[in-house]
Amino acid sequence: MEVVREIYLDNAATTKTSDKVMKRIIDMCTEFYGNPSSMHNKGLESDNMIREAAQIIAKAVLCYEDEIYFTSGGTEANNLAIRGVSKANKKRGNHIITTKIEHSSVRNVFKNLEEEGFNVTYLNVDKEGYVNEEELKDAVNDNTILVSIMYVNNEIGTKQNIEKLGSIIKKKNVKTYFHVDAIQAFGKYIINVDREKIDLMSISGHKIHAPKGIGALYVRKGVRITPIIYGGGQEGGLRSGTENTSGIVALGETTKQTYKNLNVNTEKMMEFKTKLVSEIFKKVKDVYINGPEIDKSAPHILSLKFKDIKGEALLHSLSDVGIYISTGSACAAKKTDLSKTLSSIGLTDNEIYGTVRLSFSPDNYVDDIPYITDNIAKSVESIRKVLRG
Ligand SMILES: Cc1ncc(COP(=O)(O)O)c(C=O)c1O
């Protein structure tokens, strides 16, 4: 079927690389292509560009430039933080804490460490996806070396009160490190690593209009961490391998653009989300929001539960008319596993099957809402006709 119109509503999975960022990538590949480890001018030139990108990111989250380590993406940043800290601090304690709604790139590292003998606490969340502060307080003890909690949930958009959670952790045990997966929050919120008591924080470029395959980990000075990749000692020895210079510069450029336009962009996304929800509710019956109310959740994420619908059928039906959405999270979408986030907030299996995620960027237009909602209404009606008989 020929698609005449494309409306991309899957921006929590990945985003389109912006033109400005593309131009910087081309320049890096064709002009500033030196190896940053080379001692000649061409090497120094690209090394300087890496430093410049680190400065931009450091300025955005209020840390020092040499506390930013570039990685191949969010997954690697999460692995490095959790495995690197757990390994380096094993002698101090073997208790580590996370939540039941983390992305698989956190959850599966904890599972792996558990198999290696670490004692892991998985914190519950309430029906909107918020971590229970009392449960966290009770869980942290003298043996706890690390707590990892995501800033914004990628499926339902719940934004934790990181500052509060950070204070609880540090009050119970000042030596416990706090890692935050900020992959869905970076570029959407002002983050202040000091105020929020964050010791390590993961970010990813392709969620904010840079290409896939670039990310970064903030590591507070003094945090004890070991590498998970060994080699030539790049990135202060924490992440060996010739730097992805074009990706790094792209991440710097996109960070600069994103934070320059932060308020305008988040307002635009919130307006789009609010209008979209209101139109969907007018045209479709038996549809509910998963997670917090729309003005409390992240501006770019909307999780909807439709009664008597298979989310996958809705996804395909919309895809045929050029509207791109997802079922749970993209990484889990191709697996048969049911979403851990949705089951943790209390959804039944049927409700999980009936859930879709729509996620936005500032490039979405309010003018497209009638087309989107007409097609949602049409698709829902025909799927229900089949399912309800
Ligand atoms: C919350 C969260 N953490 C981690 C990741 C993984 O990041 P990357 O795709 O850069 O490996 C994602 C990607 O969907 C995510 O949403």
CA distance to 105, 138, 164, 309, per residue, from 81 (Å): 11, 23, 21, 39
Question: What residue's CA is closest to ligand 1, atom 7?
Answer: 74
User: If you measure from the C-alpha of residue 188 to the centroid of ligand 1, how many angstroms do you get, rounded to a whole number?
Assistant: 15
pLDDT in tens, 230-265: 999 999 999 999 999 999 999 999 999 999 999 999
- Is the CB of 333 inside a 6 Å radius of any atom of ligand 1? no
- Segment (H or E) for 323: strand 323-324
Task: Tell me what pLDDT residue 130 has.
Answer: 98
- Is the CB of 254 inside a 6 Å radius of any atom of ligand 1? no
- Is the CB of 184 inside a 6 Å radius of any atom of ligand 1? yes
Rounded distance between C-alpha atoms, residue 21 and residue 257, angstroms: 9
- Catalytic annotation, pick one of 22, 88, 331, 338: 331
Closest CA to 339 of 165, 74, 107: 107
DSSP 326-339: BSS-HHHHTSSSPP
Question: What residue's CA is closest to ligand 1, atom 9?
Answer: 74
Task: Tell me what pLDDT residue 5 has.
Answer: 85
Task: Tell me what pLDDT residue 246 has.
Answer: 98
pLDDT in tens, 54-85: 999 999 999 999 999 999 999 999 999 999 99
To test the ligand 1 pocket, which listed residue (79, 204, 329, 334) has its Cβ within 8 A of the most ligand atoms?
204
Closest CA to 102 of 145, 62, 146: 146
User: If you measure from the C-alpha of residue 74 to the centroid of ligand 1, how many angstroms do you get, rounded to a whole number?
Assistant: 5
Query: Are the CB atoms for 164 and 195 separated by under 8 Å?
Result: no
- Is the CB of 216 inside a 6 Å radius of any atom of ligand 1? no
User: If you measure from the C-alpha of residue 389 to the centroid of ligand 1, how many angstroms do you get, rounded to a whole number?
Assistant: 39
Q: What are phi and psi of 74, to 5 degrees?
A: -70, -40
Question: For every residue of 54-115, which 3-state class applies, written as one string?
Answer: HHHHHHHHCCCHHHEEEECCHHHHHHHHHHHHHHHCCCCCCEEEEECCCCHHHHHHHHHHHH
User: If you measure from the C-alpha of residue 4 to the centroid of ligand 1, how many angstroms do you get, rounded to a whole number?
Assistant: 30
Tokens 């895809």 appear where?
Answer: 319
Query: Are the CB atoms for 49 and 216 separated by under 8 Å?
Result: no
- Is the CB of 157 inside a 6 Å radius of any atom of ligand 1? no
User: If you measure from the C-alpha of residue 203 to the centroid of ligand 1, how many angstroms do you get, rounded to a whole number?
Assistant: 8
Under-70 pLDDT residues of the chain:
1-3, 328-336
Residue 331 known to be catalytic: yes
Task: Tell me what pLDDT residue 336 has.
Answer: 59
Q: Is 117 left (phi over 0), alpha (psi -120 to 50) or beta?
A: left
Strand partners, 10: 359
Counting Cβ atoms within 10 Å, is residue 88 exposed (0-12), middle (13-18) or buried (19+)?
A: middle
Rounded distance between C-alpha atoms, residue 23 and residue 43, angstroms: 20
| Six token digits for residue 72 | 């191949």
Rounded distance between C-alpha atoms, residue 336 and residue 329, angstroms: 12
Go through the domains of the chain in sequence order and give each one's CATH number: 7-16+262-388 (3.90.1150.10), 19-260 (3.40.640.10)
